[in-house]
Amino acid sequence: MTPSIAFVQAKNPHGRGIKLWIPLFLLWIPLILLSPLILLLLAIACLLCRISLLRAIAVFWNLSCSLPGTQVDVRGESSKVMVRIL
């Protein structure tokens, strides 16, 4: 299953925090429209690096399908950023 929504939250002790939700499913529309160009560039990169094109496509697909459930927390001395992908 591909990721559909990402939640981004940034907290600052001196100011107000920021909460954003980013609909990732809307990114599929331009990705589908640009897919011939992306495929051509990927094929050229694979040819130059001597990597199998089908294997590269499989790796990118597996990577995008494994993103749901990912949570990243970054904490500094005075701020905190959290990213969750659903």
Q: Is 19 exposed, middle or buried (0-12, 13-18, 19+ CB in 10 A)?
A: exposed
Task: Give the per-residue pLDDT at 24.
Answer: 87
pLDDT tens, position by position, 3-41 = 789 999 998 888 788 999 999 888 888 989 999 999 999
Q: How far is Cα 79 from Cα 67, in angstroms, rounded to an integer?
A: 25
Task: Tell me the pTM.
Answer: 0.68
